[in-house]
């Protein structure tokens, strides 16, 4: 299987923690080229449209996409396998394999050591990482810069979704999901001590609200 192109385009399609293609493997394209030479495009808009159409038309070659992931990769594998079963028209003979690692740092170390040993065929096609370990691998030159490949898809994503996978303005990974986070507070306590909850719209305001609550409650609330 021509791994880099197929793995990357599949992940775009699946919208799958930080997902990054390992850069030490041979670079190649899927059966139908998803990225065209920009010189042939009359405009950036036309280029994006052509790329997206090519991506939709791609039929991926037979093979296995290998991931490194910590935690409970069996659940992620079940999700991907279900997705593949529902998209056999574009991936008739594609399978996924998850290799469990102890942590994000362990994944980074395994990729680094495998690359240093020259065993590039043993590297995974993709890896789930946090931002710090992603940055380390980027600095070591071990992740593929997928900016040109991914740019046509960014406008379809939630605003800001791609920033965690970017280093120095270049894209090396995609989030597997965008999860909203909620902050809940006890309105009765805030009202009692006259602390404005609206200030918690920023991290500095959040800290300030805590300081005010502690001071006004004489340490009873903190």
Give whole-number Cα distances, 198 to 28, 88, 191, in Å.
51, 49, 12
pTM comes to 0.62
117-169: per-residue pLDDT in tens?
Answer: 999 889 999 899 888 999 999 999 999 898 988 888 888 887 777 888 899 99
Residue 217 CB coordination number (10 Å):
14
Q: How confident is the model at residue 188 (pLDDT cuts 50, 70, 90)?
A: very high
Greater confidence, 112 or 14? 112
- Whole-number pLDDT of residue 11: 59
Which residues on adjacent β-strands are paired with residue 94? 63
Pairing of the two strands 170-171 and 166-167: antiparallel
Please determine, for residue 47, whether its predicted confidence score (pLDDT) is greater than 70: no
Alpha helices in 93-179 (DSSP H): 104-116, 131-139, 147-154
The domains of the chain, with CATH numbers, are: 3-171 (3.40.190), 187-216 (no CATH)
């Amino acid at each position: 299987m021509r791994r880099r192109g197929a793995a990357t385009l599949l992940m775009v399609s699946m919208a799958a923690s930080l997902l990054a293609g390992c850069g030490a493997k041979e670079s190649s394209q899927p059966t139908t080229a998803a990225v065209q030479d920009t010189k042939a495009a009359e405009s950036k808009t036309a280029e994006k449209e052509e790329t997206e159409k090519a991506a939709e038309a791609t039929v991926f070659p037979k093979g296995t996409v290998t991931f490194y992931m910590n935690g409970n990769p069996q659940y992620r594998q079940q999700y991907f396998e279900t997705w593949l079963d529902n998209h056999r028209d574009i991936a008739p003979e594609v399978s996924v394999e998850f290799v469990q690692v102890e942590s994000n740092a362990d994944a980074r170390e395994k990729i680094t050591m495998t690359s240093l040993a020259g065993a590039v065929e043993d590297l995974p096609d993709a890896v789930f990482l946090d931002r710090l370990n992603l940055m380390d691998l980027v600095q070591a030159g071990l992740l593929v810069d997928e900016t040109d490949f991914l740019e046509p898809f960014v406008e379809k994503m939630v605003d800001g979704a791609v920033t965690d996978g970017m280093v120095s303005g270049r894209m090396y990974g995609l989030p597997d999901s965008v999860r909203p986070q909620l902050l809940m507070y006890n309105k009765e306590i805030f009202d009692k001590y006259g602390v404005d909850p609206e200030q918690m719209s920023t991290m500095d305001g959040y800290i300030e609200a805590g300081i005010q609550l502690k001071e006004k409650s004489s340490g009873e609330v903190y």
